[in-house]
Amino acid sequence: MNTPLQIPARTIMTPGPVEVDPRVLKAMSSSILGQFDPSFTSLMNETMEMLREVLQTSNHWAFPVDGTSRAGIEAMLCSVIEEGDKVLIPSFGRFGGLLTEIAERCGADVHLIHCEWGKVFEPNDVIKEMKRVNPKVVAMVHGDTSTGRVQPLKEIGYACREMGVLLLVDAVATVAGTEVKTDEWMIDGLITGTQKCISVPAGMAPLTYNDRIEKILLERKSIEKGLVSSEQQRLAQKDRRIQSNYLDLSQLQDYWSPARLNHHTEATTMLYGLHEGLRIILEEGLANRYDRHQKNEQALVAGLEAMGLSLFGDKASKLPTVTCVTIPEGINGDSVRSMLLDDFGIEIASSFGPLHGKIWRIGTMGYSCQQRNVLLTLAALEAVLLRHKAKLHVGEGVQAALDIYKQSEKVEA
């Protein structure tokens, strides 16, 4: 007991949590500031400003919830959805299931439509269903890491706005790794997480929402006992009160406003990390960052296919930040993953539910998304698969990936 921390070196090629830039780790070792210290509240304001830029929005509200990604998802859903509200959830993977689960717990009347895992929806099919169901809210995942697919949202966003339906989007797997245009796609509320392409440790869920959402929050707002003297004021909206206190966006936005109405104690060190992580993203530039993610994905895919492995799922909707590989017949997927971790210090992921044991998932996200990591992963995976007696085109995987990098060096030169 009382063993000192011993953190082995790891190359993390999963869909999160991913490696973190040493600059972020250093920022997170800064000393503590009080939550109402002006030096701290100005960090909060700067973080909001940088988040707006990364989320491509002019929304006033853009701040992190102090919890991991699903805390942000639940904050958005439980603050917007009221008992009996119709919510349409087009689900194409596990995280559509999570939206369903959370919406049900908020008392929603959930209308769930599925598509086969490995595909996404034709936007028109969703729009047709919207017209049939006439929901208050459409809740959708943008990139579902469980199947490695990305759902086009633009047409759905336009249709929602036209029909007066609110569009809430889980963009945990995509923000800062591939294009996410909150305003242009007419997304009303969008949630992301820190531990994927933003490349900051898990523990915060940045989100943003527009005036249409804020209007609902203000209608449902209640003030905490002990902060106002009037019980009448406190209980004004009792019937429509948001069911969570911790995840109540109407209270959180007061804490993130100049009023700084005390709610929780902001997670100091996590905010330092997010602040530095957002700075790094904006220094790189969103377009460059998306290009980097795409180039490394291309190299990884080329390498895997040249090695003789097949990718899972429909090509057109492949999520650029997660690559799903079909586990070859006769190979024990978990044994391969363990050997990769134990002997090479490289981590890749399995999947959930119906896909467990059928596919591996390789992430190329944030700081983990770099040439060195892709090449070493391909080399190590080949070696491990050979040890597992898989039939491969030996030596070809890494060469194919190198070809992509060398080509792109030429283009850039």
Of 79-87, 299-307, 346-354, 397-405, which part binds a copy of itself (CB under 8 A)?
346-354
Give the Å distances, CA to CA, from 68 to 48, 206, 399.
18, 9, 38
Member of 2, 315, 330, 406 binding a copy of itself (CB under 8 A): 2
Using CB under 8 A as the binding rule, whether residue 17 contacts a copy of itself is answered as: yes
Judged by CB under 8 A, which of 158, 246, 255, 405 binds a copy of itself?
A: 246
DSSP structure class, residue 119: B
Segment near a copy of itself (CB under 8 A); pick from 174-182, 261-269, 305-313, 324-332: 261-269
Q: C-beta of 365: minimal distance to a copy of itself in Å?
A: 12
By CB atoms closer than 10 A (0-12, 13-18, 19+), residue 223 is middle
Ramachandran bin of 403, using left for φ above 0, alpha for ψ from -120 to 50, beta for the remaining angles: alpha
Position 232 contacts a copy of itself (CB under 8 A): no
Q: What are phi and psi of 113, to 5 degrees?
A: -120, 145
Which is closer to a copy of itself, CB of 244 or CB of 408? 244
Q: Which DSSP helix (H) or strand (E) runs through 205?
A: strand 205-209
Closest approach of a copy of itself to the CB of residue 4, in Å: 7
- By CB under 8 A, is residue 195 in contact with a copy of itself? yes
Going through 54-126 in order, the beta strands assigned E by DSSP cover: 61-65, 86-91, 109-114
Stretch that binds a copy of itself, among 11-19, 207-215, 293-301, 390-398 (CB under 8 A): 11-19
237 lines the binding site for a copy of itself (CB under 8 A)? no
List of E strands, 92-151: 109-114, 137-141, 143-144, 149-150
Task: Kindly state whether residue 243 participates in binding a copy of itself, applying the rule CB under 8 A.
Answer: yes
Mind spelling out the 3-state secondary structure of 243-274?
CCCCCCHHHHHHHCCCCCCCCCCCCHHHHHHH
Residue among 179, 251, 165 at smallest CA distance from 212: 165
Considering the rule CB under 8 A, would residue 341 count as an interface residue with a copy of itself?
A: yes
Is residue 49 a contact point for a copy of itself (CB under 8 A)? yes
Q: How far is the CB of 7 from a copy of itself (least distance, A)?
A: 4
Is 41 an interacting residue with respect to a copy of itself (CB under 8 A)? Answer: no
Which residue in the block uniquely carries the two structure tokens 């998802």?
Answer: 73
Q: Do residues 138 and 160 make contact, with C-beta atoms less than 8 angstroms apart?
A: yes
Q: Site residues for a copy of itself, window 281-320 (CB under 8 A)?
A: 282-283
134/233 with CB nearer a copy of itself: 233
Taking the complex as a whole, how short is the minimal distance between the CB of residue 249 and a copy of itself, in angstroms? Answer: 14
Query: Binding to a copy of itself by residue 358, rule CB under 8 A?
Result: no
Kindly state whether residue 390 participates in binding a copy of itself, applying the rule CB under 8 A: no
Secondary structure class of 314 (helix, strand, coil): coil
What per-residue string of b and e applies to 59-86 under the rule 16 or more CB within 10 Å gives b? bebbbbbbbbbbbbbbbbbbbbbbeebb
Encoded one letter per residue, x for contact with a copy of itself by CB under 8 A and - for no contact, window 267-286 reads xxxx-xx-xx--x--xx---
Count CA atoms closer than 13 A to 128's CA, side-chain side.
Answer: 6
Q: Which of 62, 82, 87, 97 binds a copy of itself (CB under 8 A)?
A: 97
Does residue 67 belong to the site contacting a copy of itself (CB under 8 A)? yes
Q: Smaller CB distance to a copy of itself: residue 63 or 95?
A: 95
DSSP line for 171-197: -TTTTTTS---TTTTT-SEEE--SSST
Number of residues that bind a copy of itself (CB under 8 A): 94
Please give the torsion angle defined by the CA atoms of residues 385, 357, 94 and 382, in that order, rounded to the nearest 10 degrees: 0
Residues 101-130 that bind a copy of itself (CB under 8 A): 101-102, 104-106
Q: Name which of residues 136 to 165 contact a copy of itself (CB under 8 A).
A: 146
What does the CA dihedral 80, 85, 89, 95 come to, rounded to 10 degrees?
50
Token pair 């598509």 is found at 115
Which range of residues in 19-27, 132-140, 153-161, 296-304 is near a copy of itself by CB under 8 A? 19-27
Q: Is there binding between residue 29 and a copy of itself (CB under 8 A)? A: yes
Under rule CB under 8 A, residue 206 binds a copy of itself: no
Minimum Å distance from CB 91 to a copy of itself? 9
74 sits near a copy of itself (criterion: CB under 8 A): yes
Could you tell me if 321 and 108 are in contact, meaning their C-beta atoms sit under 8 angstroms apart? no
Is 372 annotated to bind a ligand? Reply is no
| Residue in this structure with the two tokens 């999947």, named with its chain if needed | 351
Our finding on whether 264 is near a copy of itself (CB under 8 A) is: yes
The annotated binding site for substrate is made up of 361
The annotated binding site is made up of 361
